[in-house]
Structure 1
Amino acid sequence: MTAPLLPGAALDEEDAEMTTPPDGRAGITADLVRRLLAEQFPRWAALPVRPVPVDGWDNRTYRLGDTMTVRLPTAAGYVPAVDKEHEWLPRLAPSLPVAVPTVLARGEPGAGYPYPWSVRGWLPGETMLSRPVDDPVGFAVSVGEFVVALRRCDATGGPAAGLHSFHRGGPLAHYDGETRSSLAALAGRVDTDLAIEAWERALAAEWSGPPVWFHGDIAPGNLLVADGRLSAVLDFGTSGVGDPACDLVIAWQVFAGESRRAFLETVGDDAGTRARARGWALWKAVLMLAECIDRDPPQAEVNRRVLGEVLAEHRGRHGRSGRRP
């Protein structure tokens, strides 16, 4: 019997996939894509354009013929990813163990659309959300191997963590106020004392190593599965160089038991990095839980479960002996 994954993943608007809503979300339509192609890439203008069956939040994605996609940011905050991926994905791809998106062309604003956009190659497979894996332990190892390989890529000149990565890869302190406000809102409904203790330990475990590449959103919606195996990793929009602890969040959001141990052993980080990683998972869980605890019980339960996993590991490692590491 294989070790299970957690029965749900803590997702927010940045991370979540969604069944494609009626065409036109964020003012983007298939007709707009056709007009952009006709203006800028007429060689592809005759190909069929259709929304993908499952879409992300930061961008709208359309199939272009059988072998390509068109990807358009839905808001200004997601625009920096276009140039970042255009420049860095070709450099990173040769050093990674699975496929990543191939950027074929960069589009300019036009046809009433205000942002740059891109044409990419289509990657076969289904996301981890759509296709459960048969071997969770083996899958966890393959995700860990991807994280390790990404960290080993040359970080020279890479984009330092900051606003473009939504501060993933940077100090957790950026989200200190938000985390404490969320915990204050959850007082009496979760173990806020233990959560603050775990959070403060994460803050104290500052990153002191050289900056390395991180993905920033290792989540089920960005992991493609083919024949039961990890086949590709999508969406490097939050990637950059800095502290890689944010790439371990999937350990508590998705993996469990043997699969969690296999992932963390494959990545092989020190205790400080694990503490910061638990901090990233805690921040997201309490932020989402504070927002949905009274209006979306199923999603609240998912985030409550993730918080419980994080706090249980913190307690197992450190007990409740005080807030100082």
Structure 2
Amino acid sequence: MTDFHEDGRAGIDAALVRRLIADQFPHWADLPVTPVKIDGWDNRTYRLGEELTARLPTHESYTAAVDKEHHWLPILAPALPVPIPEAVAKGEPGQGYPYHWAIRRWIDGQTASRDTVADLSGFARSIAEFIVALQSCDATGGPAAGAHSFYRGAPPEYYHDETIAALAVLKGRIDTDLAREVWETALATLWDRAPVWFHGDIASGNLLVQDGRLSAVIDFGTSGVGDPACDLVIAYTFFSGASREVFRTAVGQDASTWARARAWALWKALITYDSSESSHQVITEVLADHRAEA
């Protein structure tokens, strides 16, 4: 019996996955189980043979994604320009592990980085085309932004108190007056159109590359329907200069949506300022972009 703890990751290991597979999917029990080389925080992922993965949420707050992705991934996939995860099966709680979990088809590719992307501007265009295609998918009956998406797709105001607290902590270390202006500018705007599909975490770790080009987009755990501003954050976290302008042009969003995108990028950079080396640069980029648009 696995000693699973609510600290997020303890108790999830390859041995647990083998037991779960043997109990619930005995036809796959002989397949080797190995950890993936690059893993996320929300889920622990293991290769299951050559063609499958087992994906186990690390905390109850991430479990809503299992049913959501299992239902919606096959509906969205045909309309998108690159592959996304293919839902194969859902696992049940067992062996001391308390949550539902997922089996997906393995997708080959390298994680996107400055080293693996051959042409940043071309990559920016590909990401924009993916976002536009996702927004074009029929949102009827889609999961409205909320707790399951960690409020991506909702107004950034949900994180107002957290943002203001972070600004108070960082006073004297960044231009908190201008950062507050960025935040308040965003809160004065709203997505006033019909809700559209958003991914919720368009970040380098969820973008796969082959031969230097975008080959797949993974991890739809924070996806839903609502305001797509959160999907523009990559403009500040991965692109800059010419590649950012290519992305901005190709994704085709209005000024208000970009104001909220800056707020989403700012919020995350503020709350990770002391633990992420890139946060200061993101804040610098956001503030400079706000000045240029003012």
TM interval, short-chain normalised: over 0.9
- Give the drift of 1:132: 2.3
Residue 143 of structure 1 aligns with which residue?
Answer: 127
- Give the drift of 1:207: 1.2
Aligned ranges for residues 162-201 of structure 1 at < 5 Å? 162-201=146-185
Match of 2:284 among 308, 311, 318: 308
Stretches of 4+ moved more than 4 A in 1?
none
> Is residue 51 of structure 2 the alignment partner of residue 75 of structure 1?
no
Q: What's the % identity of the aligned pairs?
A: 63
Unaligned runs of 5+ in 2: 1-7
Residue 4 of structure 2 aligns with which residue?
Answer: none
Query: What residue identity is the alignment partner of 2:130?
Result: F
- Give the drift of 1:134: 1.0
Provide TM-score, normalisation by structure 1: 0.87
Q: Deviations over 1:49-87 (max 9, x none)?
A: 110111111000000111110000001000000000000
Are the counterparts in 1 of residues 200 and 223 from structure 2 also a CA contact under 8 Å? yes
Aligned ranges for residues 95-106 of structure 1 at < 5 Å? 95-106=79-90
Give the Cα separation in 2 of the matches to 1:39 and 1:53: 26
> Is residue 91 of structure 2 the alignment partner of residue 107 of structure 1?
yes
Query: What residue identity is the alignment partner of 2:219?
Result: D
Residue 3 of structure 2 aligns with which residue?
Answer: none
Q: Deviations over 1:16-36 (max 9, x none)?
A: xxxxxxxx9431111111111
Query: What residue identity is the alignment partner of 1:303?
Result: S
- Give the drift of 1:130: 8.6
Are the counterparts in 2 of residues 131 and 225 from structure 1 also a CA contact under 8 Å? no
Give the Cα separation in 2 of the matches to 1:113 and 1:317: 49
SS for the counterpart of 1:28 is coil
Give the Cα separation in 2 of the matches to 1:317 and 1:146: 25
Give the Cα separation in 1 of the matches to 2:114 and 2:265: 22
Match of 2:71 among 83, 87, 90: 87
Residue 323 of structure 1 aligns with which residue?
Answer: none
Give the Cα separation in 2 of the matches to 1:121 and 1:310: 37
Query: What residue identity is the alignment partner of 1:228?
Result: G
Residue 286 of structure 1 aligns with which residue?
Answer: 270
Give the Cα separation in 2 of the matches to 1:131 and 1:215: 24
Are the counterparts in 2 of residues 213 and 242 from structure 1 also a CA contact under 8 Å? yes
Aligned ranges for residues 1-325 of structure 1 at < 5 Å? 25-129=9-113, 131-289=115-273, 292=274, 296=275, 299-300=276-277, 302-318=278-294
Residue 5 of structure 2 aligns with which residue?
Answer: none
Greater RCO, CA 8 A, separation 6+: 1
Are the counterparts in 1 of residues 110 and 116 from structure 2 also a CA contact under 8 Å? no
- Give the drift of 1:129: 3.8
SS for the counterpart of 2:89 is strand
- Give the paired residue count: 287
Query: What residue identity is the alignment partner of 1:310?
Result: V
Unaligned runs of 5+ in 1: 1-23, 319-325
Are the counterparts in 2 of residues 50 and 64 from structure 1 also a CA contact under 8 Å? yes
